[in-house]
Amino acid sequence: MFYERIQTKDENTYVCLKMTRQAQAEKCLEANRLQRYAERQGLEVEKPKKKAVTVADVLDFYEKSGCPDTRGRLRYNPTTNTPAAYRELPYLSTLKEGFAGKTVNELRPKNLDAYHTWRCLELQAKVGPSAGGRGQAAQFVINQRQQLLRRFGIPRANRFEDLRHRFH
């Protein structure tokens, strides 16, 4: 991380630039210095307004980047040596639909749980009611309840689960 030393009338302090590359940090330092100089000269300085980034924006950027791997490298087909069209491309539209209007800062476990529930119900609606559909729906509700109880640390109603023997 890189830091910038800021001297004001009251204090001398350091501010983290939240950058790990030296070239980026130097550009940011220069921009900050120019902005402070312009303020001292009495010029009006327009600070850029930060736009909230939505999940759809991130997914569009991921798709335009060619669906890179975790290290940021493009995935290539080894036989043809061309960028590969990976299997996650069809699911991007589903993710955009599920997280419509959500910003990246709003992503919390409850939103991810809501997406999971929405997706399960959507798939169940596509398959249609089967012979055991009511039983599957009831089991789905029970499983969701148990997961929420575990997540929020609420004690279990069935104390016989605690009597299992574990040999480890």
Identify whether residues 120 and 167 lie together within a single domain.
yes
The residues, ordered by sequence, that sit 6+ positions from 32 with a Cβ below 8 Å of its Cβ are 4
Q: H or E stretch including 90? A: helix 89-98
**pLDDT tens string 77-104:** 666 666 666 667 778 888 899 888 888 8
Residue 32 lies in a domain: yes
| Residue 30 phi, psi dihedral angles, 5° rounding | -65, -40
Query: 81: alpha, beta or left, given left = phi > 0 and alpha = psi -120 to 50?
Result: left
Residue 46 lies in a domain: no
Angle at 124 between CA 119 and CA 125, to 5 degrees: 100
From 8-17, 28-37, 59-68, 75-84, the region with the lowest mean pLDDT: 75-84
Full residue range of the structural domain in which residue 58 is found: 51-104
Residue 45 lies in a domain: no
Question: Would strands 76-77 and 82-83 be described as parallel, antiparallel, or unpaired?
Answer: antiparallel
Residue 11 lies in a domain: yes
Predicted pLDDT of residue 149:
64
Residue 82 lies in a domain: yes
Percent above pLDDT 90 for the chain: 3
Percent above pLDDT 70 for the chain: 68
Identify whether residues 121 and 96 lie together within a single domain.
no
Pick from 126, 116, 124, 122: nearest CA to 148: 116
Identify whether residues 10 and 29 lie together within a single domain.
yes
Residue 66 three-state SS: coil
What is the domain count for the chain?
3
> Do 11 and 4 touch, CB atoms closer than 8 A?
no
Residue 19 confidence class, pLDDT cut points 50, 70, 90: confident
Residue found by looking up tokens 């939240």 in the block:
18
Task: Please give the single-letter amino acid code of residue 118.
Answer: W
Identify whether residues 60 and 98 lie together within a single domain.
yes
Residue 102 three-state SS: coil
Beta carbons within 10 angstroms of residue 164's beta carbon: 6
Residue 26 confidence class, pLDDT cut points 50, 70, 90: very high
Residue 12 lies in a domain: yes
Average pLDDT for the chain: 76
Identify whether residues 117 and 154 lie together within a single domain.
yes
Identify whether residues 114 and 99 lie together within a single domain.
no
**pLDDT tens string 108-165:** 888 888 888 888 888 878 776 554 455 555 566 666 666 666 666 655 555 445 444 4
